[in-house]
Chain A
Amino acid sequence: MSYILSEEEQMLRDSAQAFLAEKSPVSELRRLRDEGCKDGFRHAIWKDMADMGWNGIVIPEEFGGVDMGFTAAGLILQEMGRTLAATPFLASSVLCATALRYGGTDGQKSEHLPKIASGEKVYALAVDEKARHDASHIETRARKDGNGFRLSGQKRHVVCGNGADMLIVAARMDDDSIGLFLVDPEASGVERTLRRSVDSHAPANIQFDDVKLDGDALLSETEDGSALLDLVLDSGRACLAAEQLGIAEEAFSRTLDYIKEREQFGQKIGSFQSLQHRAAHLLTEVEMTQSLVIKALRQLDEAPSQAPLWIAAAKAKATRVSRLSSAEAIQMHGGVGMTDEYEIGFFYKRAQAAGEFLGDDAWGAGRVAQLSGY
């Protein structure tokens, strides 16, 4: 396993950097927010991303993807973290694509994966029902009904949920095992409520009231829905940790620029030792995070059975460090850091939301303890 990026990976990262700087800088997130965008992303940019091949980054070529693996997906998300690009990439191209790839029948794959890859449709994953991430707590029910199912329950804060064209919903079946179901959000009995969130994304609470599903709504390639869900969530966590790393890096780099510029007491504030030490500490923490993130992504690609520990550690570390970095950013910017006009606050907000999604640092610590047998 190498910590060094391959040439292909570096090229991907460079093109992501260039694309996002041009099409989706932080000002674009501000614009989405100020326009009151209900989908939480810009469709035109999403289409452009599909043209770059990104939307099918973990989708096999036979289903319209480029199949470059999770490390590649993580590299794109890391760059998205740097510009705070709000897109369905994580929900649709990572979480749902992974669910379909590993849980879908051939029929389901050929129907849905090309739509994700082409950007024609946006998919979102609905798992959580409590305020804090807890994938073991699923009370949504999918009762057998003839050849199909009846779905009832509530999902909370479904990321990208308001703009999604299709949902993949985790529900308990008659034998209490977990199943993942494809659900059309426009079907009768589905009700979405937009929740405007602090990071200017557009998640939704979604209510399912005796929704009628066909038999082939269930991702049924695998028997063990719970293992499938674990894999899906872990792929999302590893990639999200990469986004958090990007947030941490960018907030830090903007702060460094600022303390090299701003003067007080007749000198650059970056010459004060108390700020220097905190900056040096941040440098160290960001480097540590970077190592865990690349390790987690590579393990997912190369040795998935050993990946969960690394992923939990990476998600926990990235949560903590992205929050620390953006919080320190505000402090070191002083008053200007508190203004809406200045962009640094957007990083702090996104760090909070990204940290919460799929398990924060406390969640990660619990999982690490459990996986380590203590």
Chain B
Amino acid sequence: MSDLESFRNDVRDWLEANCPDSMRKPMKSEKDICWGGKRFEFSSDDQKAWLERMAEKGWTCPSWPKEYGGGGLSKDEAQILKEEMERIKARPPLISFGIWMLGPALLKYGSEEQKCHYLPQITRGEIRWAQGYSEPGAGSDLAALRTKGDDKGDHWIVNGQKVWTSYADECDWIFALVRTEPDAPKHLGISFLLIDMEWDGVSTKPIKLISGKSPFCETFFDDVKVPKENIVHQPGRGWDVAKYLLSHERANIAGGGSGAQMNPVAAAHKSGEVDENGRVADPILRGDIARLTIDALAFETTLQRIKDQADGGQGVGAKASMLKYYGTELNKRRHELNMSALGSDGLLWEGENPEDGDPARGWLRSRANSIEGGTSEIQLNILAKRVLELPGG
């Protein structure tokens, strides 16, 4: 038996013994996500046990090095773990900005001390991180940000405001872009700082979304004292870190595009809009769904193909923008068709069951996919400039 095959067997046995039954059902809604963090309330003992067992193995971040709390798995091994988890429909034990945003950035740009300190807290789900990039005057034009840090020798005094900070009111720490070099050119004056949200002067205020939920906030910094050792990479080089992190964020948001949790065909069955052969009754809607399926297959294969290329040494680079653009537009279409297939059933906002409003809320939330992490238009700009090398500023 090859090493990989025996690894697969081990993984299978371990999952069989350690993944609680209730963690082998698809997540119904956001409520089932384990975000971790100091203030996180587990929805069940199983959820807690599942996180702890996986974190113990380092499998919340399977391919991070072991010394930082990861699993130290090779690409092939990580793929096997993923497949085996999918096979038993195991939920991800932990989802967090720490895992898919800050972690990769620290692995590339962090000091050894920072890696040893922050990464294990992420893999164990102890600290929940927020992303402090956007500001009222700096959205797509992120480098226009004005939150500033005054140099006080061994620390900065940070003042300013962030906005659209996802889950800021539930997070423990925030990685923030702060202008520390006021005289430097736009992109060269920014630093990437790690800030404890319990420190004096940090406050948040929730903003309500069209989906009725408040997953994001305004975040304020009033004379917050940030020690110099809390900078990642060098002063004024935060833009490099920010961009690197964004490509991971984009690849991750794009991944949602392949998620089949929202299935318009299942929706048609639910609402009774199928004929006696089980086919979607309205032929035009059926055609629209089929075209969606085709594009979803195209997207899924492209994710795999780009992964193959990355394994073969060809970088992914700006292709993350392609995936972000296509995946999020696809996901919006999927939600639209889901709503069409549900008909008036999809319009329910609240009802007897807690999940009654989910389709409508999910549909509304999906509109953000092509805004968050850089809008679709910005992705197209990036592709035009960096991949197609088209002229102009």
Interface residues of A (CB under 8 A from B): 2-4, 256, 259-260, 267-268, 270-273, 275-277, 279-281, 283-284, 287-292, 294-295, 309-310, 312-313, 316-317, 361-362, 364-366, 368-369, 372-374
Contact = CB atoms under 8 A, between A and B. Distances in A.
B301 A259 contact: no
A361 B288 CA distance: 12
Contacts of A3: 301, 304-305, 308-309
A277 B384 contact: yes
A352 to B, nearest CB: 19
13 contacts: A3-B305, A4-B308, A268-B391, A271-B393, A276-B388, A280-B384, A281-B380, A283-B388, A292-B297, A313-B294, A361-B291, A368-B293, A374-B274
Contact of B287 (A280, A313, A366): A366
A289 to B, nearest CB: 7
Interface string B358-393: 000000000000000000010111011101111111
B68 interface: no
B326 interface: yes
Interface in B291-318: 291, 293-295, 297-299, 301-302, 304-305, 308-309, 312
A270 B392 contact: yes
Contacts of A277: 377, 380-381, 384
Contacts of A317: 294-295, 298
B286 interface: yes
B289 interface: yes
Contacts of A280: 325, 379-381, 383-384, 387-388
Residue among A271, A283, A366 facing the most chain B CB atoms (10 A cut-off):
A283
B279 interface: yes
Q: How large is the interface on B (under 10, 10 to 19, 20 to 34, 35 or more residues)?
A: 35 or more
A368 B384 contact: no
DSSP class of B's interface residues: helix, strand, loop or mixed? Answer: helix
Residue among A279, A288, A361, A364 facing the most chain B CB atoms (10 A cut-off):
A288
A373 B305 CA distance: 27
B272 interface: no
A270 B390 contact: yes
A115 to B, nearest CB: 37
Contacts of B391: 260, 267-268, 270-271
B268 interface: yes
A277 B390 CA distance: 11
B251 interface: no
A22 to B, nearest CB: 28
Contacts of A310: 297
Nearest to A366: B290
A284 B301 contact: no
A291 B293 contact: no
B295 A283 contact: no
Contact of A289 (B298, B384, B393): B298
Contact of B302 (A256, A288, A312): A288
Contact of A373 (B278, B287, B392): B278
A367 B49 CA distance: 45
A325 to B, nearest CB: 14
A284 B326 contact: yes
A313 B312 contact: no
Given A3-B301, A3-B308, A361-B291, 15 more contacts: A267-B391, A271-B393, A273-B384, A275-B390, A276-B392, A280-B379, A287-B302, A287-B319, A288-B326, A291-B298, A292-B301, A310-B297, A365-B291, A369-B289, A374-B274
B265 interface: yes
A368 B388 contact: no
A273 B381 contact: yes
Given A4-B308, A369-B286, A374-B278, A283 B387 contact: yes
A276 B390 contact: yes
Contacts, number: 128
A369 B387 contact: no
Given A256-B388, A288-B326, A374-B278, A368 B290 contact: yes
B290 A292 contact: no
Contacts of B290: 365-366, 368-369, 372, 374
A271 B390 contact: yes
B280 interface: yes
A271 B385 CA distance: 9
B322 interface: yes
B293 A313 contact: yes
A291 B322 CA distance: 13
Given A3-B308, A374-B265, A292 B298 contact: yes
A136 B99 CA distance: 52
Interface in B221-243: none
Residue among A273, A291, A316, A317 facing the most chain B CB atoms (10 A cut-off):
A291
Contacts of B289: 369, 374
Contacts of B278: 373-374
B294 A316 contact: yes
Residue among A280, A288, A312, A313 facing the most chain B CB atoms (10 A cut-off):
A280
B279 A369 contact: yes
B389 to A, nearest CB: 8
A277 B268 CA distance: 34
Given A267-B392, A283-B388, A368-B294, A276 B381 contact: yes
A311 B238 CA distance: 46
A288 B298 contact: yes
A276 to B, nearest CB: 4
A364 B274 CA distance: 21
A264 to B, nearest CB: 13
B300 to A, nearest CB: 8
A132 to B, nearest CB: 15
Nearest to A276: B384
A356 to B, nearest CB: 18
A283 B390 contact: no
Given A365-B287, A374-B289, A284 B322 contact: yes
A319 to B, nearest CB: 10
B388 A279 contact: yes
B392 to A, nearest CB: 3
A324 B322 CA distance: 18
A63 B317 CA distance: 46
Q: Nearest 6 pairs between A and B by C-beta?
A: A271-B392, A276-B384, A280-B383, A365-B290, A291-B301, A288-B298
B384 A279 contact: yes
Nearest to A321: B298
A273 B286 CA distance: 35
Residue among A2, A3, A361, A366 facing the most chain B CB atoms (10 A cut-off):
A3
Contacts of A276: 380-381, 384-385, 388, 390, 392
A79 B287 CA distance: 31
Given A369-B279, A369-B293, A283 B301 contact: no
Contacts of B322: 283-284, 287
